[in-house]
């Protein structure tokens, strides 16, 4: 399940996607000089704040001030225009990182095309 959600997040982040005989690969440019590719099972959005927080930054810097992810001590809130805010309690998602991941996935899944 997290594999599909991680791929969804990578697409939202506009990470270039390539495919070969072994499946999908994602091209990342980290230093501005070095580009490397990783497989979908190596995407780390659910495991690392280093992967997850740039997604929150992108959501929070979008065109609508109402669309945002709000992180508080015990919960994460997903605000999306035209929908009631959704709460993701840390204790229900294995901690804060899991709650942020759930809120990010909820936000992206509900984007209108």
> Domain locations in the chain?
2-109
Write b or e for each residue in 64-85: b if 16 or more Cβ atoms lie within 10 A of its Cβ, otherwise e: eeebbbebeeebbebbbeeeee
CA triple 89-61-46, angle to 5 deg? 40
Q: What is the pLDDT of residue 35?
A: 55
What is the rounded average pLDDT of the residues 9-13? 93
Q: Say if pTM beats, i.e. exceeds, 0.85.
A: yes
If DSSP codes are grouped into helix, strand and coil, which group holds residue 34? coil
CA atoms within 13 A on the CB side of 6: 19
pLDDT in tens, 68-93: 999 999 999 999 988 899 999 999 99
Q: pLDDT digit string (tens) for 19-53?
A: 878 778 777 655 454 556 788 888 999 999 999 99
Which residue's structure tokens are 């390539």? 18
- Report phi then psi at 41, rounded to 5: -70, -5
């Amino acid at each position: 399940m997290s594999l599909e959600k991680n791929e969804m997040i990578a697409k939202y982040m506009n990470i270039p996607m390539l495919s070969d005989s072994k499946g999908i690969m994602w091209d990342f440019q980290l230093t501005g000089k070095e580009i490397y590719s990783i497989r979908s099972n190596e995407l780390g959005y659910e495991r690392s704040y280093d992967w997850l927080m740039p997604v929150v930054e992108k959501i929070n810097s979008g065109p609508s001030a109402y669309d945002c992810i709000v992180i508080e001590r015990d919960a994460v809130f997903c605000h999306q225009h035209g929908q009631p805010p959704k709460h993701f309690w840390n204790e229900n998602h294995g901690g804060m990182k899991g709650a942020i991941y759930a809120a990010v996935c909820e936000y992206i899944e509900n984007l209108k095309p």
